[in-house]
A and B are shown apart, each in its own frame.
Chain A
Amino acid sequence: MKIVDDSPPVLSALDRPNSYIGRSVPRPNLARLTQGRGQYISDVVLPRMAHVAFVRSPHAHARIKKIDAAKAKKSPGVIAVVTGPEFTKVMTPWVGVLTHLKGIKSAPQYPIATERACWQGEAVCAVVARTRAEAEDGCELVEVTYEALKAVTDPETALDKATPVIHPDLGDNLCFERSLDAGAVDKAFAESDAIVETTFVFGRHTGVTNEPRAVVADWNPGEQRMTVYHGTQAPHMMQNLFAKHLALQEHQVRVLTKDVGGSFGIKVHTYADEMATVALSKLLKRPVKFVADRIESFVTDIHARDHRVKAKLGVKKDGTFTAFEIDDLTGIGPYSVYPRTSGIEANQIVNLTGGPYKCPNYRARARVVFQNKNVMCQYRAVGHPIACAVTEGLVELAAAKIGMDPLEIRRRNLIADDAYPTGSASGLKFEQLSHHEALAHLDAMMNYAGLRAEQAKLREKGIYRGIGFASFIEVTNPSAAFYGVGGARITSQDGATVKLDATGAISIHSGVTEQGQGAEAVMAQCVASAFGVPLDKVRVVTGDTDNVPYGGGTWASRAAGIGGEAAWQAGKALRQNVLAVAGSILQAKPEDLDIRGGIVVDKSTGTERLPLDELARVAYFRPDTLPPGFQAELMATRHYVPRAWPFAFTNGIQASYLEVDTDTGFVKLLKHWCVEDCGTIINPQLVDEQVRGGVVQGLGGALFEQCLYDERGQMLNGNMADYLVPMAVEMPDIEVGHVVSPTADSELGAKGAGEAGTAGAPGCVMNAINDALRPLGAKPLTDMPFTPGKILLALGRV
């Protein structure tokens, strides 16, 4: 892969003399991680630490009649065997609902199943031993007597009267329903020249993090404090939840993340087995470690994307869209996941469908139902790949139906670049997007006309290539509108504390977290630029609730846009503080001075006046030489939360070029392009790699990944051989281009970039496959992933 279109730095107020904004600097943690010197939770070893393994239900739905642990308790190394009822002594259950998702309901969930197992893989008994191997030996000796119950697996029949209700107290299997009706939809359809209507199906998939979920909990009865080493995206959120359900005060809980080996949204939720591990430490008064193995990960890490969307679009002969209508149905497992709920993905689909286009008529319904499969919740680009594929799939079907070029139909309907601020039919508010500029950029970058010519020529030789597009919008920089207003203690603000040490170097403590995506590099760039030191004078500390400002962590593409702004402001504040010290030492006005490259200089001439190490020496060791009454303040904290807009929307467009082998149904991805607009680009390389990584996850969903279940609720491919993650050999070159529309809500102007790739890639590939097969008269493919079998079926070959 090559970086073709690195954006040049934008000249703005951010361009301080030694600015790192807009530069591809290496991450501060690079050497440590590549030399194998990182410390992941899996690496944490504490004195007297025990390991827990879980006996997991082989049934999708079963009553636990009896658990005989006698043999397991005698197994070598086993310390304790703990069943559901014992956990209730130290931990309260939780319910995954939010007040702003009107009517959402769920049942209380416990650390491990107490009387019923509701999915295959749910823990029913915990075995704690000296080693993980001994804990697993113990698990094999636990005898569980189950009474198998009927499993509810098909969302289509989950609400039928004849279907058993999974949680009888809830009355039915409906978790959440939302309807929306904007404009005059029926009238608009009636006035359309053509209507396209189809059903899109999205496979269930999961995040497959490089490092599995991991936690080490250490209850110290002497201190009455719980320290949790936790591979999480949101340490303060987890601090709150551990405290709440262990009946502790928040200050009695400390969460440390250490290095986290990838998260993709998987590690921002409450997992019953992790809660159980923390409860076990309290029960046993010793450190307890749990590291999910790969087999456990497949049946317990949250799944996502399992949606069926019936969708309809009306269009005029001139290409004008008249109305969108969707009906979404999704099965989310037996519990709404705590605390973000499992209603958000469907809610996002309702919010985002049709989002890039000016079309006031929009009707949507989404239903979220319970079922006896592993739980579903938020995973990278929540709802976006679905809303985008539905919208863009309809757009290209409509273009084909009225015989219009797919880029042209978009040009005629995308919201104009000078129409902002504006909003969508679903009520989203857009500050400034750049759909048309992005489209024009993509058109040129991919040489669209040239590709069409090549495609036509090859068709004559029986080679079927396709070109597909997907315009998209992406939710980033969420304000309190996402979770806070719904009653969840998930903060949308973030903080940064910057301090000058006694040698003139600085450290920043930030509330965002590093998952491998490079957030620490961005924090270092922001603070080094705002304060005025070389990058190697900056140390970044994240992931420790005892030491970093209260913050939200990493999710919804917020780390750079929100955490970065806090770091920028804290760096500026410290600069003012340090210049006050410099002014008093140099007998100069602070406003005539600046800090550049770690040296206090004359602002106008750049003449060097005082190195920071000398300033720090005076401030810390000879404050007696400073004027009477002057106190140096060499630490500054700033917080930031988006206020003017609920979300900083980003936008862009992707294109896929691929070849379908019509004999085998295999798809070869030839090339992929993405032009996106994430506002100010702090680190072009990190942005491009976020886009590429995101595209690859989207391509996985389009072609490879799917958690397959049988009708009894058994997962059929829960291992790395049968669950196909996208691999490098099958991936195309991905060219990335940028348009830059900074958000005016922050000084930095950065929006998020973490999910744009994932949002657009699946729809784009779907459109390209259908473009390739259209001359063969194949029925459009709308059921992801597009396996060779499905393509052969569409071609009538099998």
Chain B
Amino acid sequence: MKPAPFAYAKPRTLKEAIALLGKHKDNAKLLAGGQSLIATLNMRLSAPTLLIDLNGLKGLDRIARKGAKVEIGALARHVDVERSDVIAQYAPLIARAMPHIGHPAIRNRGTFGGSIAFADPAAELPACLLALDGEIEITGPKGKRTVKAETFFKGLFETAIGPRDVLTAIRVPAAAKDNRYGFSELSRRHGDYAIVGLAASARTTSKGLADVRLAFFGVDATPLRARKAETALTGGTIDDKRLNAAVAALDLDPSDDVQATAAVKKHLAGVLLKRVARQLLETRT
């Protein structure tokens, strides 16, 4: 479990990092927290010729409210997001998801941007972004651009980040009073990737729930919205009948893996849907 030989560069500016990417293209990998990358290198599942260490870049780790949005710098460590008052107040869904990400040692090193860029289909944060209708800021040779979470996750470990791009920030709408959130996941052991998980957001109105967004993870190649179930939960009183209808409307098509069969995953997704829907009905404190 020793990596194949590689060269190492630690740029001091984003421009420098992007220039290095331009020069080495697919042969280079970006190193942030390294919690997934280093393991794949050691197992020789990946053998880049150059590692570009982003940890020397300044100012990419800030967490701040900017108007109606919360911005999280790509290099913000999980532990800092977990402990951030801004996140607790304005992005409570993310705050709820954080303790489920690996273990303290992993959260000390791992970065928020790294988790989004790696896009593990069973990871918590991509689903949270999707549930929150978040956006991803990408910086490339031609400058910055912003991509909605909805179109960012393209396939298994595949995103809208190009070979010469660096993910630089994540933005989510700041929580308003009438926003409601739910989060739950089932993993065999705390800190494992989920067998199935669900991140959800909605708005509470006098006519019931509106803008319901249910983002499942661990059931497909990317985090996945359950749109028919969202419709089933929109408007009106939510009782057992409605919940059962929402579960019946789930059209997930997971595949078997070593922890659970597709049938078990589908069943568990239904259980989570009911549990998370109840969370959406709770008053936020």
Contact = CB atoms under 8 A, between A and B. Distances in A.
Given A789-B260, A798-B267, A137 B189 contact: no
A125 B115 CA distance: 38
Given A664-B268, A789-B260, A136 B189 contact: no
B29 to A, nearest CB: 18
A797 B267 contact: yes
A191 interface: no
B41 to A, nearest CB: 11
A788 B186 contact: yes
A295 interface: yes
Contacts of A645: none
Interface string B188-216: 11111101000000000000000000000
B1 A295 contact: yes
Nearest to B275: A663
A131 to B, nearest CB: 8
Contact of B189 (A730, A792, A798): A730
Contacts of A789: 260-261, 264
A13 interface: no
Interface residues of A, number: 30
Interface in A125-166: 131-133, 136-137, 140
Interface stretch (B2-10, B126-134, B234-242): B2-10
Interface residues of B, number: 24
A137 B2 CA distance: 9
Contacts of B193: 721
Contacts of A729: 189-191
Interface string B112-123: 000000000000
B258 A716 contact: yes
A798 B264 contact: yes
Contacts of A708: 258
B2 A133 contact: yes
A721 B188 CA distance: 11
Contacts, number: 62
A724 B268 contact: no
Given A136-B44, A729-B189, A792 B258 contact: no
Given A664-B268, A704-B189, A727-B190, A788 B1 contact: no
Contact of B192 (A132, A664, A665, A724): A724
Nearest to A131: B2
B68 interface: no
Given A294-B1, A666-B186, A788 B260 contact: yes
A788 B190 contact: no
Interface string A649-666: 000000000000001111
Interface in B232-285: 258-261, 263-264, 267-268, 271
B266 to A, nearest CB: 8
Interface string A286-309: 000000011100000000000000
A798 B195 CA distance: 15
B43 interface: yes
A727 B1 contact: no
Among A132, A729, A730, A789, max chain B CB count under 10 A is at A789
A5 to B, nearest CB: 29
Contacts of A704: 188-189
B271 A664 contact: yes
Contacts of B5: 133, 137
Interface in A691-733: 704, 708, 716-717, 721-722, 724, 726-727, 729-730
A136 B1 CA distance: 8
A785 to B, nearest CB: 10
A792 B264 contact: yes
Nearest to A791: B264
A133 B2 CA distance: 5
B1 A724 contact: no
Contacts of B263: 798
A724 B189 contact: yes
Contacts of A797: 267
Contact of B186 (A294, A664, A724, A726): A664
Interface string A420-445: 00000000000000000000000000
Contacts of B258: 708, 716-717, 722
Contact of A140 (B4, B261, B268): B4
Nearest to B42: A293
A299 to B, nearest CB: 13
A132 B42 CA distance: 12
A542 to B, nearest CB: 30
A770 B268 CA distance: 21
Contacts of B3: 133
Contacts of B260: 787-789
A727 B189 contact: yes
B161 to A, nearest CB: 24
Interface in B35-75: 43-44
Interface in A551-586: none
Nearest to A716: B258
A798 B266 CA distance: 9
Contacts of B2: 131-133, 136
A315 B188 CA distance: 38
A665 B188 CA distance: 11
A664 B258 CA distance: 17
A721 B192 contact: yes
Interface in A727-762: 727, 729-730
A573 to B, nearest CB: 49
B44 A727 contact: no
Contacts of A133: 2-3, 5
Nearest to A663: B271
Given A137-B4, A724-B189, A295 B264 contact: no
23 contacts: A132-B2, A133-B3, A137-B5, A293-B1, A294-B1, A295-B1, A664-B268, A665-B264, A721-B192, A722-B258, A724-B188, A724-B189, A727-B190, A788-B186, A788-B188, A788-B195, A788-B264, A789-B260, A792-B267, A797-B267, A798-B261, A798-B263, A798-B264
Interface of A: 131-133, 136-137, 140, 293-295, 663-666, 704, 708, 716-717, 721-722, 724, 726-727, 729-730, 787-789, 792, 797-798
Closest 4 CB pairs between A and B? Answer: A133-B2, A293-B1, A789-B264, A729-B190
Given A665-B264, A729-B191, A788-B188, 5 more contacts: A136-B44, A704-B188, A729-B190, A788-B195, A797-B267
